[in-house]
Structure 1
Amino acid sequence: MLAVVLMAVTALGLIAGQLWTAREAHAMAMREHAAWIADSVAEAMREPSAADAAIRQWSSRATALLPHGEAAVTERGGVSTASVTWTALRDMPRADDVIDKPESCGGADVPTGASCVALAFAK
């Protein structure tokens, strides 16, 4: 009987570990998509004549790849920032539970429950 209980607890631990790994992999894939979009926006901004069309195009791509995704470019003090925001996963740790909490998205206000990737660039 003790062996059965020990096996059950071990199996539950393995299942929990696999679920955590899958959840983290999905969150990392979303961060990777956001970084890719931010980099593409920064590259597209090199051609000033096509900047507005590029932001619209990559914002629609962000919406397609990320939940409620949005791409934007802000300028402050001669430095431009390409940022991508999206709705965070519901079952991820809250911001207060994260030990090494990153700074906000390039100094921008990010709504509660949202994640962000920012990439600074110079024109």
Structure 2
Amino acid sequence: MSKQELVVLGQDAEGCCPTLLSAPLDEDQAAELAPVFKALGDPVRLRLLSMIASREGGEICVCDLTPAFDLSQPTISHHLKLLKQAGLITSERRGTWVYYRLLPEKTDRLAAILARPDSASPLPRDKQVGAAS
């Protein structure tokens, strides 16, 4: 892992491993991460990413993504472009079709940033996302 990647993860070069919950991001780190979270902030893009990530074989053709949505092909392509610009996916053109793959190094970095220092124990029910108050 490069020194720059360690900084994005909130780590120093000696291997200390603070997360978002144990050390605040500096301005540069926040500016680098914001576009990624913005890309994930749209329900269509989040569904697209999950469809790509969960596909057996690790990749999926755009021809298999488009029918899952009540959106035009150009709109789906726009959402995929934003996910690609955020560094979450990559693509490869094969003839007429484009195939998409998850970039696990980016999603793994996001997971590491968001991890709780003691992630072995689950959040209490009242602290879980979507839990009734």
The TM-score with structure 2 as length reference comes to 0.28
Larger Rg: 1
**Higher relative contact order, structure no. (Cα contacts within 8 Å, ≥ 6 residues apart):** 2
Considering fraction of residues, name the structure with more helix: 1
The TM-score with structure 1 as length reference comes to 0.30
